[in-house]
Amino acid sequence: MRVLDLATGTGEPGISLAQRVPQGSVTAVDQSSELLDIAAKRARNKNLLNFITQQADAHHLPFADQSFDLATCRFGVMFFIDAERALAELRRVLKPGARACFAAWGPMEQPYWQSTLKIVHRRVGGTMLEPGGSDPFRFSSAGSLSAVLTASGFLEVEESTRSLPWTWRGDAEEVLEYFCAVAAPFRSMLDRLQVEEWPVIRAEAKAAIERYRVGDEIRFGADVVLASGKA
């Protein structure tokens, strides 16, 4: 089985899939060479010789027609500039009957976002996202992702929203650091914060995060949109 993992970032779910198809291969694609370097290093540390990284844009995949048996994309489809075009391109490189599987964020009204993003926004006000920019919650409305899959030519489209466990094995400070590291869509909002406001926000966010602590773990849980379709 040949698997394509779009917008792989630091390598998931591609690395986990590579472990499950030892006689096959996983090609992990992302626009960021820095993230791909991290993914490749993680794969080497697991002695995975069937995990291949390639820098590429999802809208212009450098692969022949009907090259892959399966495609995955976890928390990446929301950021495609032209999702319908990118998914049509993905369908091109899939073999007939191959399935493409996606995970996207559900609504913002859930523990992780409410204890980080919402606290910042309450402090600074104004727009949360740049008009026309990336939106992590783009497909949070029921049926919106499956509609794009259908418009892109995928068949037997399925979609559901699931509440899944999401446990953070670390402290609240690490959660905040992670949020700041992946908060590119909200950068303009963060830039409106004054330096002297950060201590207050950090204290408020930490207190909110700690409400989800159980023992040594922070148990957020996550509402996630899962969708798939056949080429």
CATH of residue 71's domain is 3.40.50.150
Under the banding of pLDDT at 50, 70 and 90, the label for residue 72 is very high
Three-state DSSP at 168 gives: strand
**What phi, psi does 214 have (nearest 5°)?**
-130, 105
Across the chain, the runs of DSSP E, i.e. the strands, are: 2-6, 25-30, 51-55, 68-74, 94-105, 155-164, 167-168, 213-214, 217-219, 222-230
In a domain, 62, yes or no: yes
d(CA 201, CA 191): 14
Query: CA neighbours within 13 Å on the CB side: how many for 58?
Result: 27
Is pLDDT above 90 for 152?
yes
In a domain, 50, yes or no: no
Is pLDDT above 90 for 134?
no
In a domain, 36, yes or no: no
- The mean pLDDT value of the chain amounts to 95
Mean pLDDT of 16-34: 96
Q: What is the number of structural domains in the chain?
A: 1
In a domain, 31, yes or no: no
Q: Kindly state the percentage of the chain with pLDDT values over 90.
A: 84
pLDDT value of residue 179: 87
**What phi, psi does 153 have (nearest 5°)?**
100, 5
pLDDT value of residue 180: 83
Range in 8-12, 102-106, 126-130, 219-223 with the lowest mean pLDDT: 126-130
Is pLDDT above 90 for 44?
yes
Instruction: Show the tokens assigned to 67.
Output: 């090259």
In a domain, 40, yes or no: no
pLDDT value of residue 95: 98
Mean pLDDT of 155-161: 98
Helix (H) or strand (E) holding 85: helix 83-93
In a domain, 191, yes or no: yes
Under the banding of pLDDT at 50, 70 and 90, the label for residue 116 is very high
Mean pLDDT of 106-132: 91
In a domain, 22, yes or no: no
pLDDT value of residue 177: 87
Q: 169-203: per-residue pLDDT in tens?
A: 888 999 988 888 778 889 889 888 888 999 999 99
Place of tokens 């006689």: 23
Helix axes 198-210, 117-124, angle to 10 degrees: 140
Query: CA neighbours within 13 Å on the CB side: how many for 34?
Result: 0
Q: Using alpha carbons only, give the angle 57, 58, 64 rounded to the nearest 5 degrees.
A: 95
In a domain, 180, yes or no: yes
Three-state DSSP at 24 gives: coil
Q: Which domain holds residue 190?
A: 57-230
DSSP labels, 106-152:
--S-SHHHHTTHHHHHHHH-S-SS-TTS--TTTT-STTHHHHHHHHT
Q: How many CB atoms lie within 10 A of CB 2?
A: 20
Q: How many CB atoms lie within 10 A of CB 102?
A: 27
Is pLDDT above 90 for 5?
yes
d(CA 123, CA 87): 37
CB-CB contact of 166 with 220 (8 Å): yes
